Structure 1
Amino acid sequence: MNRNAPQPDLLAVAARWAADPAGWPVPLRFDPAERWYGRLAAGADHEVWALSWLPGQGTDLHDHGGSSGAFLVVAGALTEETVSAGRLRPRRLAAGAGRRFGARHVHLVANRGDEPAVSVHVYRPALRRMTRYQLTDGRLRVAEVAEAGVAW
C-alpha cells in the first residue's frame, strides 16, 4: 500500500456498500436473540460490516480499539449515544444518515424504534479489539476488553 496515497472516506465506502444490499456476500438476517452482524469485506486498509437491529437491540458503551470508522443507516433508524460532560447524549439517525468517528470515539448504538434497522460500518484499520465501558458517576470505567476472533 502506498502510504502517500489518499485514504478512502469511510462514510463514502459505507454508502457504496449500503447502496446494494442484494450484492452483499453474506445474506442479511435478523436474529430475535441478539443483534446480527456479518463481515462484507476486508482489505489492506479497512473492513466493512453489515449489522441488523430488531427493536430494542443495541450495543454496550464501547470504543473500537484504536480504529477510526463510519457507519450509515441503510433502513430504519438508530440512536447513537456519546458521552459529553459526564452524561450520555443521544442522536437519532434515520435511513440515509451516517457519521464518521475517530480512533478514540466511545459510543453506544441502539434501535429505539418500532421497526427493524440495518446499518453498514467501516473501520480503519480492521477491528482487533473493542473496549466496553460503564458510565459511573459521570466517568467512563473499563468493563471488558474484547478481542477479535474470541468475542466476535
Structure 2
Amino acid sequence: MNRHPQPDTAADAPGITSFTDEQLMRVARLFASDESLAAHLDDLPDGGERRRVELASTPHLQMWAISWPAGSTSEWHDHGRATGAFVVVKGALREKRWVRGTTVSAIVEAGESRTFAGDLVHRTAPVGDAPALSVHAYAPSLVGARMYEVVDGSLVAIAA
C-alpha cells in the first residue's frame, strides 16, 4: 500500500510556490555565499556589457548572477509580475529607482542587499571604475519584464 501517493500534476508537487521579501533575501544571500561566483568577474573589459548567468530556475523562482564591468548599466526596466531581491557580492552598485516622476538613488555596497516590488522601475550600474558582481532572486520567474525610456520627464515602455 502506498501511503505517499505521487502528485498528479506539477501544481500538486510539494515545494514553495511564493516567497516573502525576507525569503527572497535569504535565498539570494545563500547563492551569493558561493565563493566560485567571483570567477564571473574574470576578464571583464571596461565599457563591456553586463554578463548574466542563470544559477537556478523554476516557474516560481529564478536566480541570476550578474557581473557588471565598469561603464555597464541595466537601463530602465521592471520585472513584470516578479518581486525580487539582490545582494552585491563584490564592488558596489548604484540603483536608481523611478518614484512618482523622480529618481531616488542609493549605493549598495558589497554584502548589502535590497528588495523590490514587481512594479518597481529601476536601473542599476557599477560605481566608479571597478566591476561589481551581484546575485538576484525573482519570484515568480522573470516573465513580462519591460524596458523603459524617459521621454519629456515621463517613463515610456519600449515596444518589444
- Normalised by the shorter chain, which TM-score bucket? 0.7 to 0.9
1:21 to 35, 46, 56: 35
**Aligned with residue 68 of structure 2, among 22, 35, 53:** 53
Query: What 5-or-longer segments of structure 1 have no aligned partner?
Result: 146-152
Root mean square deviation of aligned Cα: 2.3
Alignment partners' CA distance in 2, 1:78 and 1:128: 24
Alignment match, 2:156: 141
> Matches of residues 1-152 of structure 1 in structure 2 within 5 Å?
1=13, 7=19, 9-22=23-36, 28-29=40-41, 30-32=43-45, 33-145=48-160
**Identity of aligned pairs, percent?**
35
Question: Aligned equivalents of 1:3 and 1:43: distance in 2?
Answer: 11
In the alignment, the residues of structure 1 paired with residue 91 and residue 122 of structure 2 have an alpha-carbon distance, to the nearest angstrom, of 19
Give the deviation of 1:2 after TM superposition.
Answer: 5.5
Per-residue deviation, residues 106-148 of structure 1 (Å, max 9, x unmatched)? 1000013221100000111111232111122332101233xxx
TM-score, normalising length from structure 1? 0.83
8 Å CA contact 1:85, 1:138 repeated in 2: no
Q: How many residues align?
A: 143
CA distance in 2, matches of 1:16, 1:86: 35
Instruction: Looking at secondary structure, tell me which structure has more helix per residue.
Output: 2
Larger radius of gyration: 2
Structure 2 unaligned segments of length 5 or more: list them. 1-12
Describe the superposition over 1:24-78 as per-residue Cα deviations: whole angstroms up to 9, x where unpaired. Answer: 6xx5245433111100111342010000011111111000111111111000000
Q: Distance in 1 between matches of 2:40 and 2:68?
A: 11
Amino acid at match of 2:29: A
